[in-house]
Structure 1
Amino acid sequence: MLIGLLVVMTGCFNVNDPINAQSEGIWDSYFVYPLSWLMIYFADMFNGSFGLSIIVVTLLIRLLILPLMIKQTKSTKAMQALMPEMQKLREKYSAKDQRTQQKLQQEMMKLYSDNGVNPLAGCLPLFIQMPILLAFYHAIMRTREIQGDSFLWFALDAPDPIILPIIAGITTFIQQKMMMVTDNPQMKVLLYVMPVMIVIFSMFFPAALALYWVIGNIFMIIQTYFITGPNVGNKKVADAKTGGKKK
């Protein structure tokens, strides 16, 4: 739904107007122009390479939202650790009547509360990233200095039909696999649907946007593996059960 909304919104703005310091409006002044300025600034530092500039700007954005992303990763890992308890509750309250289902929801919320887990915490970073992605798209399309520039094997202002979209899909799959909540049917479906959507998305949008997505995925993969660690969820639940006491 969010990707569909992004596609629709890209057509609701005029991407043919060049972006500059004189551009007016909250969207242009505070979202699009700062990204455009940053890309031009770092491109000048790298001898006019907007590809390297986009990589640097992507890393800066990821560092800016890093606290939210770490919170998302911890929440997801904590949900993984709670899956056995959640399954027991579902088996205990398996009846489909309204009263039983209400009791199940109450017990689920109590389980989350007792273990300090917010099941909606993982959604916030995604909602924050969508406006950034849209602003990045506008900055790419409306920054005239990028037009005609290339990086590695692809032109930044035109879609790369095969290689970059496949890389974007693979990195999306790996990133989601690392974050997947065990035995969650919805997440398992998303694990395969989302990479396919990203591949299609990358085939029709400028390669610079796909480059942003790939670098962001790689950053997220490294963050999940090296920063938060594979057992953060188990540790969080164990600490909650023991009251945070250390031996």
Structure 2
Amino acid sequence: MSNKQFNKFFKLSLLVSFIVLLSACGNINEPITSQSTNFWDQFILFPLSQFIIWLSHLMGNNFGLGIIIFTLLVRILLIPLTLMQMKSQSKMMELQPEIDAIKEKYPNKDRHSMELLQAEQQALFEKKGVNQYAGCLPTLLQFPIMIILYQVISRTELLRQGHFLWVDLGQPDPYFIFPLLAALFTFLTTYLNSKTNPQQNISVKIMMVTMPLMIFFISFAFPSAISLYWFISNLITVIIILIFNNPYKIIKERQERIAQEKEKERQLRKALKKAKSRK
């Protein structure tokens, strides 16, 4: 990754860290109102709570639909980063054989070997124009959004007491349906992203199982509004993947390209064989 790319990633990481730090400064037991004086409450949480309430009013005072529309707007804003993430992941997958070849050159784990390994990998990334950290950005941004939404729901009485379908938005889902849907679409996101990788590794398979399970069990203690946000966000991610980075289309194109290359090699061998027979 170039210095310019690293600086962008570093600045974004600082911004995310700053948001997380600010979120810890608010009194989570104190309701958010227009009279709130804390910077985080007054300028971040209260305007956002009013925005979600406004969206809910547009949806016939349905606070669940208001949260769904809010989630949709967030994901639309994140589309450029999501596409950059997909592009980076695709490039990393295509480079995996070369990365594995570099690792084989430095089997030792001593400091000198690791430095040479990292330097050669970095040179490969720069040559191919791959930002190895780009895939982290959308995920990184989701954490402060989750923290903000959690505080908005927990500290806004109107939202906390809202209902949607079978759930109270301020309470965990009693039937675990939204946590289950959030876990399912988290799995689908990981599965679709990894499906185009020509070389499946054990770490991806472990993550494909552990991430959905972690989200499922964590959601037990979260308000239903958070599980709903998680579910809709991952549903939108699946749709974006199928539209912009469809793994089945990529696999088909890769197979066609391999078949064309094999046909060219076959035609070349045939032509060479004819040339030799004429001599």
Place the TM-score, normalised by the shorter chain, in its bin.
0.7 to 0.9
Query: Partner letter of residue 122 of structure 1?
Result: G
Identity %, equivalent residues: 38
CA distance in 2, matches of 1:173, 1:45: 32
The Cα shift of 1:73 comes to 1.5
Query: What residue is the counterpart of 1:5 in the other structure?
Result: none
Q: Does 1:78 align with 2:91?
A: yes
Out of 170, 175, 193, which is 1:179 matched to?
193
Structure showing the higher helix proportion among its residues: 2
Query: What residue is the counterpart of 1:216 in the other structure?
Result: 233
Q: Is the 8 A contact 2:178 2:228 kept in 1?
A: yes
CA distance in 2, matches of 1:209, 1:218: 14
Deviations 1:113-155 (A, max 9, x none): 1111111111222222211110101111111112332212222
CA distance in 2, matches of 1:193, 1:173: 9
Query: Partner letter of residue 168 of structure 1?
Result: A
Query: What residue is the counterpart of 2:114 in the other structure?
Result: 101
Higher Cα Rg, which structure: 2
User: Higher mean Cα deviation, 42-51 or 172-181?
Assistant: 172-181
Q: Does 1:194 align with 2:211?
A: yes
Q: Does 1:163 align with 2:177?
A: yes
Sort the Cα spacing of 1:121 and 1:184 in 2 relative to 1 into closer, same or farther, 3 A.
farther
Query: What residue is the counterpart of 1:121 in the other structure?
Result: 134
Out of 34, 38, 56, which is 1:43 matched to?
56
CA distance in 2, matches of 1:136, 1:151: 16
Query: Partner letter of residue 164 of structure 1?
Result: F
The Cα shift of 1:99 comes to 2.7
CA distance in 1, matches of 2:108, 2:160: 60
The Cα shift of 1:191 comes to 1.9
CA distance in 2, matches of 1:116, 1:57: 34
Sort the Cα spacing of 1:65 and 1:29 in 2 relative to 1 into closer, same or farther, 3 A.
farther
The Cα shift of 1:216 comes to 0.4
| TM-score of the pair, normalised by structure 2 | 0.74
Higher relative contact order (CA 8 A, sep 6+): 1
Query: What residue is the counterpart of 1:205 in the other structure?
Result: 222
**Count of matched residue positions in the alignment of Structure 1 and Structure 2:** 230
Secondary structure of the 1:47 match is coil
| TM-score of the pair, normalised by structure 1 | 0.83
CA distance in 2, matches of 1:100, 1:91: 11
User: Higher mean Cα deviation, 148-157 or 56-65?
Assistant: 148-157
Deviations 1:83-122 (A, max 9, x none): 1111111122223343333222111111111111111111
Alignment of 1:121-140 (within 5 A): 121-140=134-153
Query: Partner letter of residue 213 of structure 1?
Result: W
Q: Does 1:65 align with 2:78?
A: yes
Root mean square deviation of aligned Cα: 2.7
Which runs of no fewer than 5 residues in structure 1 stay unpaired?
1-8, 236-247
CA distance in 1, matches of 2:201, 2:67: 35
Deviations 1:181-223 (A, max 9, x none): 6544433322221111111111111000100000100111111
CA distance in 1, matches of 2:172, 2:105: 52
